[in-house]
């Protein structure tokens, strides 16, 4: 072979930690290669199929040649109108579909891009930890600095704003929050959201609420940040069709709220992507009009799984709370294990894969996350296997 160029990554790539779920996937493939009958409870990817009526709408829309050309950057107005109607029906929140709704290629894309619109090198972003890894990664890509807000049990896994120094609030330009929470499965109260609004107005901080899990609940319906007085004046909310309608592979979501913040995000997007395939948007309009009985059936499936796994782990002496929302269980590791050690132990001895809590940030050390994305039979089997090796 002749000469070749030397490829050197940019510092923003060199400074990246390994992406958590890519690492988990490697562990999974390695176990499968060994012939392990693996029960995968690690990644929040619904195992249930997209409801049939949504798939049928997509099949019909794909055949329409109108959708074979470039889509609009901000999303079809008909899709954005459906989002605003859904928000009004679900949360009682009024949105102008023309400038208070923006389509996204999944909420992850919007979350990753929002710092590029508002963060200059050296600016501070308030980031919850443990939390979705994209919050600090998007901040890093924009040249910003993450200030970690630890989510710990004694504070009900809500940030303790009283512990954040005044100088940090004064430097902060943006704050990420996420409820119902991934990975802890905690829910937020209206009082908490009111405090977020107060802080945002006092220090001029843009609030980005990741609300991807509001529709996976068991008893009480979770709140939208935008239901809080002053919320639309302080920020935006990200939503996704992925978890609600079992559409993770479809890659469609939306951001709603403050029109100036959405305009900034939209400007980034017009320069970096060309919008969402319109057939997917057409099918998503049908999804947003899904009868609640269909969604209730999905929630009931997760509830049955939650109860089996929660009761099984509790009987083993593992400490955890029964989640009110999300399809995750956030469990303390037995005292003789750290997060990574416990994950390795149950993978090697029981063939069950879960996610180490410290992969979501150092405050997650001492925990693991179980995802309810396997059948009742497989969850029962996982409980029996773990019971034998604890």
β-strands 124-129, 145-150: how paired?
Answer: parallel
Tokens 């057939």 belong to residue = 279
**Per-residue pLDDT, 26:** 84
Residue 75 has pLDDT above 90, yes or no: yes
More confident residue, 287 or 16: 287
pLDDT per residue as tens digits for the range 77-102: 999 999 999 999 999 999 999 999 99
**CB under 8 Å to 207, separation ≥6 — which residues?**
174, 175, 177, 196, 197, 200, 225, 231, 234, 235, 236
Mean pLDDT of 23-50: 90
- Which pLDDT value is given to residue 1? 62
CA distance 387 to 270: 52
Give the number of residues written for the chain. 390
Q: Please state, in angstroms and rounded to a whole number, the distance separating the CA atoms of residues 317 and 301.
A: 25
Query: Is residue 272 predicted with pLDDT exceeding 70?
Result: yes
What 3-state DSSP class applies to 43?
A: coil
Contact 365, 357 (CB under 8 A): yes
Alpha helices in the chain (DSSP H): 11-14, 20-33, 52-62, 77-91, 107-118, 134-141, 166-171, 190-203, 231-234, 259-272, 278-288, 292-315, 339-350, 376-389
User: Could you give all domains of the chain from N- to C-terminal order, each with its CATH number?
Assistant: 11-49+293-389 (3.90.1150.10), 52-288 (3.40.640.10)
Exposed (0-12), middle (13-18) or buried (19+): which is 22, by Cβ within 10 Å? exposed
According to the model, what pLDDT value does residue 226 have?
A: 98
In the structure encoding, which two tokens stand for residue 387, read together?
């019971």
């Amino acid at each position: 072979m002749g000469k070749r160029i030397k490829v050197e990554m940019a510092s923003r790539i060199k400074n990246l930690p390994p992406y958590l779920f890519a690492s988990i996937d490697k562990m999974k493939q390695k176990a499968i290669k060994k012939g392990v009958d693996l029960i995968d409870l690690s990644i929040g990817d619904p195992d249930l199929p997209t409801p049939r009526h949504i798939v049928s709408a997509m099949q019909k829309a794909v055949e329409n040649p109108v959708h074979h050309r470039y889509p609009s950057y901000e999303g079809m107005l008909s899709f954005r109108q459906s989002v605003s109607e859904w928000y009004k029906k679900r949360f009682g929140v009024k949105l102008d579909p023309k400038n208070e709704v923006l389509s996204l290629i999944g909420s992850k894309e919007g979350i990753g891009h929002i710092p590029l619109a508002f963060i200059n090198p050296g600016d501070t972003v308030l980031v919850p930890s443990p939390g979705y890894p994209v919050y600090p990664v998007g901040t890093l890509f924009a040249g910003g600095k993450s200030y970690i807000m630890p989510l710990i049990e004694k504070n009900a896994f809500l940030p303790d704003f009283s512990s954040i120094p005044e100088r940090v609030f004064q430097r902060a330009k943006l704050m990420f929050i996420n409820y119902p929470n991934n990975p802890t499965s905690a829910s937020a109260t209206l009082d908490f959201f009111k405090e977020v609004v107060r802080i945002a107005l006092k220090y001029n901080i843009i609030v980005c609420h990741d609300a991807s899990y509001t529709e996976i609940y068991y008893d009480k319906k979770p709140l939208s940040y935008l239901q809080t007085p002053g919320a639309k004046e302080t920020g935006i909310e990200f939503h996704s069709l992925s978890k609600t309608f079992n559409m993770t592979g479809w890659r469609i979501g939306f951001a709603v709220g403050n029109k100036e913040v959405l305009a900034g995000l939209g400007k980034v997007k017009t320069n970096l992507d060309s919008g969402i395939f319109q057939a997917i948007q057409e099918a998503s309009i049908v999804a947003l009009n899904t009868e609640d009985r269909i969604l209730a059936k999905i929630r009931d499936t997760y509830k049955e799984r939650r109860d089996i796994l929660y009761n099984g782990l509790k009987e083993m002496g593992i400490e955890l709370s029964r989640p009110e929302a999300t399809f995750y269980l956030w469990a303390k590791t037995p005292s003789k294990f750290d997060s990574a050690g416990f994950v390795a132990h149950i993978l090697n001895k029981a063939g069950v894969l879960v996610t180490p809590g410290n992969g979501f940030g150092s405050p997650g050390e001492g925990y693991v996350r179980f995802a309810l994305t396997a059948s009742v039979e497989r969850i029962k089997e996982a409980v029996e296997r773990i019971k034998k090796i604890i």
